[in-house]
Structure 1
Amino acid sequence: MGSDRGPVDNQGYYDCLGVSKGADDNAIKKAYRRLAVKLHPDKEGGDPERFKELGEAYAVLSDPDKRRTYDQYGKAALDGSGGGSAPQSTDFAEDIFSALFGGGGGRRRGGAGGAGGGFRSAPRAPDATYELEVPLADLYSGATRRVRVWTQKVGGGGGAPVRAPKDVDIVIERGMRAGAAVVLKGEQDPGIPGIAPGDLVFVLREAPPDANGGGFTRVGDHLVVDVELTLAEALLGFCRPLCHLDGTTIKVRG
């Protein structure tokens, strides 16, 4: 009996990486690294779709068993989906991260009494810094502000990063000054497997006086407010109620 199986699709992944079917593991890894840096969505001219396809191709061709199945039976034999996702080993992720951002996590080696061992710390995503305008009342009394930022998460399939909104709570402690920073450790998602998250940093900026309510300004450790007086009050004295930044009412005499 003759077979009715169609042509085997076992060339596309090699074409995607730009290597021949006889390429060894090192050549495949180098090809993936070069193209991943070029096509990564965070790079100018990057291509998310091709980056995803690249990750799928590498996941198959870098695995001896999957590659053997692909060569013999084609893509359809790999669970009908290519069976791949972007590589996730820490060492390889560090290579890609270093090429993208110009740096990575430090490496630490060592062991007691020269016994060997040690570890390599995961490469870390760069911090993201934002400026947050807050009214003087928040700096005076303290407050919690919810802020939405855009970060990245690992996409499906090939793992290409996908932009996603993220809501975070910024705790402004009582007495903080303009220029102070609120740091949220580990909240800056890199969107790349094997990369440790960075920090979200919010630098506080005091809102203009007309947005503070009551016209208060801060001078050093003091609060200053202008009060308009009549001529009679200036000559004879006055007693005025004044709404403080914390909402309480105080009497000002002069």
Structure 2
Amino acid sequence: MKKDYYEILGVDKGANSEEIKKAFRKLAHKYHPDKGGGDSTKFKEASEAYSILSDEKKRAEYDTYGKSGNNSGGYQGGQGAGGFGDFDFSGFAGQAEQGGFQDFDLGDIFGDLFGGGRKERVKRGRDISIDLAILFSESIFGAERKILITKTSVCSECKGSGAKVGSDTVTCDICNGKGRIHETKRSIFGTFSTQKECANCHGTGKIPREKCHKCRGAGVLRSEDEIVVKIPSGVDNGEMVRLGGAGEAVRGGTAGDLYIKLHVEKHPIFRKEGSNLLMDLNVKLTEAILGSEVKIKTLDGDLIVKIPEGVSHGEVLRIRSKGVPTGRHSRGDIMIKINIQIPTKLSKTAKKIVEELKKEGV
């Protein structure tokens, strides 16, 4: 059964890149395996879907050959095993994951049988998820924040080689420099030769002649790193920021990613709604009747707002281009909701004036 990447991300086929990105961020936070209640399978599915739909070329190919498939087995489907283009091996893969064929790898089997071999998987470090509290103004205008995080990083002394500075590396004597060990395994199909990563050289094919004293030859070690987080303008509370390659490092492979969930503090005056900033403004009855000028504090500084004569309770005034930045030279607006304050007690003089106004039909 072909995967529907749009269904996995929960977006329509006509979704734009921003909608796809937002959907992935939401799922990445929900299913990330490092968080409580995470689901590694669904996280991988969402990551796979995003990697295809976020790339215009891959998405076009997927839209053409993807879910519906074709005579070659669908998108990225397979003539790779030679002569099996019309056969769906997904059932075998599912059984392998459930333990039915856990002693061998179908990729190795068909690679050995038909000569193609499988594409080597690049090792990848674990992803990391953290939470970060930011100011309301930082969420509106964007910001750079420096954070300290303890994680597995490439050794700064040997730069990941595991060798002592000035020393070289030599060919691993276990795998003879191939980085992989061949094993013979039995299965329902017969006896097959499979491969696994060499534990001695971690798949690199090389071992240090003299080990690095800092990481003891591992090439990586736990350390506290300072990372600069660039917060884009206009982010919402709970939104995820992804820093590629800032996760856990692994020797002989690529580092995982760092996912940062943003927690925006509430502002005493403003609320964000799309590209606009909303606020309530209390005005006196006389100000509403006669009009006035009121000074308010905005994120850009003090601003004089003109209250028009005869303004209504609940009426919304718009201050243009003082809201959330939407581009290099464009911004949303400030929307001011008027709340007219009706006095609960009046002096004799004030009451007399109001009675006169009543006679005038006001």
TM superposition score normalised by structure 2: 0.34
TM superposition score normalised by structure 1: 0.46
Structure with the largest fraction of helix: 1
